Amino acid sequence: MTRFAAPISEQIWDMKYRLKHADGTVQDRTVEDSWRRIARALSVVEAEPEIWEERFYAALEDFKYLPAGRITAGAGTGRKVTMFNCFVMGTIPDSMSGIFDMLKEAALTMQQGGGIGYDFSTIRPRGADVLGVAADASGPLSFMDVWDAMCRTIMSAGSRRGAMMATMRCDHPDIEDFITAKSDSARLRMFNLSVLVTDDFMEAVKADGPWELCFGDKVYHTLQARDLWNKIMQSTYEFAEPGVIFIDRINKANNLNYCETIAATNPCGEQPLPPYGACLLGSINLARLVKNPFEAGADLNEATLDELVRMAVRMMDNVVDASGFPLEQQAQEAANKRRIGLGVTGLADALLMVGLRYGSDEAARQTEDWLHRIARAAYLASVDLAKEKGAFPLFDADAYLATGHMMQMDEDVRDAIRTHGIRNALLTSIAPTGTISLYAGNVSSGIEPVFAYAYTRKVLQKDGSRTEEEVVDYAVQMWRDLKGNAPLPDYFVNAQTLAPLDHVKMQAAAQKWVDSSISKTINCPEDIDFETFKSVYMAAYESGCKGCTTYRPNDVTGSVLSVSEGSDKVPEVDTGAEVIYMSEPLDRPQELEGNTYKLKWPDSEHAIYLTVNDIVVNGHRRPFEVFINSKNMEHFAWTVALTRMISAVFRRGGDVSFVVEELKAVFDPRGGAWMNGKYIPSILAAIGGVIERHLISTGFIEGEGMGLKSDPQRQVVNLDNAPRGKACPSCGQFDMRMVEGCMTCASCGYSKCS
């Protein structure tokens, strides 16, 4: 019997979380081995590790508690990786040397897999005087371009995908350029952008008053606050960015406002953090805790929830001690405050199981009750840890209890903290859970509604044939198992049929008992008018949210499957694309046809010879392997490594044209060379160009800088002819969705932000 509820769940585990050796052999033979590895790694800091290992294993078993991906993939592996998901970097100095010191720190953090946030408000505006230099300042956006290039370089070096958040205050003189920066489709692709909106600004917007843009003591420009607000709204209406962060609300509510000031968040926005702040994440899977689902009296098992929260808090607190950090400042910040971010996933499925319509007043009240119970259990668990192991070093009882969030906390919890202290300064956060939700059986993600009840994905097998596989939402599958072919009740709703203000209602209900923030996307129909769209953001502000992110599909952002409110066309099943994950590599025939190319790099004594061999699959020629050779022994190690890596990618099948673009993006800091009238930034880029020419000559790709000659096509079933979305860069399926503030593939789990 497998523990996985669906084939896609096992594939996600195998691709992302299963521990494998460098030669491809597996160490985690089963998912139980993965749970055991994590439980053992997080129990070693305990005085009685054997006892706690068993308790931690029980929490992980059957996907009840889901540590975030970096913990699941990294714990107990012995690899030099951080298990922290979220970082905000140090305050950027307004000097050239300081700026590039921060760039170095960002590169080191991203190299270990951390997503980072930065506030660029501290850099003087474009055109300002630079003291001691007869020049004007280039402004923060010019340095954001440098960060963007750095992130691309880290990616091209083979590290984990980069994710960055850039924030800017609403009173910075360059804020208008910041707002519209991503209207250029080629600019700042590695960044999410958010405007830091103050309470004074929102009051000025409502009063249609003036607003000053200033830096230091100098006012650079005055405009109407409502005009600037409309500019923010217009950009996010058209391009889905920038997001909005209500920064004053964040700082007033922050449990640590007596010893830190927040000006940025991690890439998906659920973790507002101070300079060098770091946080780890994990989620309680509510969909696994419902008693008697779809029956009268169905309810969450509260005793199980309480105990699960207690175990999760202890495990996450142990991660603070067990994890490495890219920078010493991050390690000190984490040790001084012991921040954790415990959240939930499967909320929408759990609401369905107890008979509630996501977005209804009853569902909002139930959500608030569940999150309140989790908050109580988490804070009391942290108090118990403080009794046993001590409070976090910067704990000050009077100051801590006087903060905005703690003022609303239950009096018995406040009394316990006053008497015993608390181990973790902040405890709750609702993070993106797209991949771990698939891994846990395709439960609904975070506090998002169900996106689609079911969809079909096509899996390309090694012989070139394709098999179809239905991916069903966890609650829908449970309904089928219990009720057979009975139609879904009318309280089943999804992201396409939900009104935007229902999204806001659910976010606000959850935010009341979350001490950090929430990663959530408010899906808006493409035909929503601009004034109604603006009202969503005002409703988010008025209802107590700490930020707001919307997604309105259009020609710029990419369309997703959608139906209008009240339509009788329900997106029950959509069809998959033609290319996706292949479980085993293609077999090598005895003979292959190929070509050998000579590459002479200027100033190099010896040429490089590159052979590309092709295989024919279903009548189509495609690359299968490469061999790279040179008499220059300085090249030996990397040419062998490149030969093995590229060949391994080619043998997996699918759209492998990305290999060309990755190689062509590599630059050599010592300088490139001019070849045939074109500047080539490195030898690796030259090799990429040779492979690209071969793929063009064999008809595998259309032309230079272009993708597959035969692009995978999607057919949409009876959904008002909704245009397809963008193809997933990892698996090729046209199933990219904006979930929790990040474009995520529902078929393979790829996420731009992870």
What's the token pair of residue 236? 């996010």
Residue 709 has pLDDT above 60, yes or no: no
> Residue 187's pLDDT is what?
86
Residue 270 falls in the annotated catalytic set: yes
Q: How many CB atoms lie within 10 A of CB 199?
A: 13
> Which pLDDT band holds residue 721 (cuts at 50, 70, 90)?
very low
DSSP for 134-146, written as a single string: SSB---HHHHHHH
Which residue among 254, 266, 318, 424 is the active-site one? 266
Opening angle at CA 730, ends 593 and 465, nearest 5: 55
**Catalytic pick from 86, 170, 268, 753?**
268
Torsion of CA 584, 589, 591, 594, to 10 degrees: -20
Contact (Cβ atoms closer than 8 angstroms) between residue 551 and residue 237: no
C-alpha distance from residue 321 to each of 43, 46, 160, 315, 422 (Å): 11, 10, 23, 10, 17
Task: Write out the DSSP string of 212-264.
Answer: EEEETTEEEEEEEHHHHHHHHHHHHHHHS--EEEEHHHHHHH-TTTTT----E
CA distance 241 to 238: 8
Number of C-beta neighbours around residue 292 at 10 A: 12
- Could you say which of 53, 105, 241, 270 is catalytic? 270
Confidence of residue 671 (pLDDT cuts 50, 70, 90): confident
Spacing of C-alpha 88 from chain mean position? 15
- Which of 287, 296, 291 lies closest to 352 in space, CA to CA? 287
What is the tens place of the pLDDT at every residue in 644-665? 888 888 887 767 878 888 888 7
Residues facing residue 742 across a β-bridge: 739
pLDDT attached to residue 132: 63
Coil, helix or strand at residue 77: coil
* Tens digits of residue pLDDT in 283-341: 999 999 999 999 999 999 999 999 999 999 999 999 999 998 989 999 999 999 999 99
How does residue 729 score in pLDDT terms, banded at 50, 70 and 90?
low
268 is an active site residue: yes
Which has the higher per-residue pLDDT, 739 or 33?
33
Render pLDDT for 144-174 as a digit per residue (tens, 0 to 9). 999 988 887 775 444 455 689 999 999 999 9
Give the helix/strand (H/E) hosting 454.
Answer: strand 454-460
| Residue 470 is a catalytic residue | no
Contacts (Cβ under 8 Å, ≥6 apart) of 644: none
How large is the average pLDDT for residues 354-368?
98
Whether the per-residue pLDDT at 712 is higher than 80: the answer is no
More confident residue, 644 or 424: 424
Give 558's pLDDT tier (boundaries 50, 70, 90).
Answer: low
For residue 730, is pLDDT > 80?
no
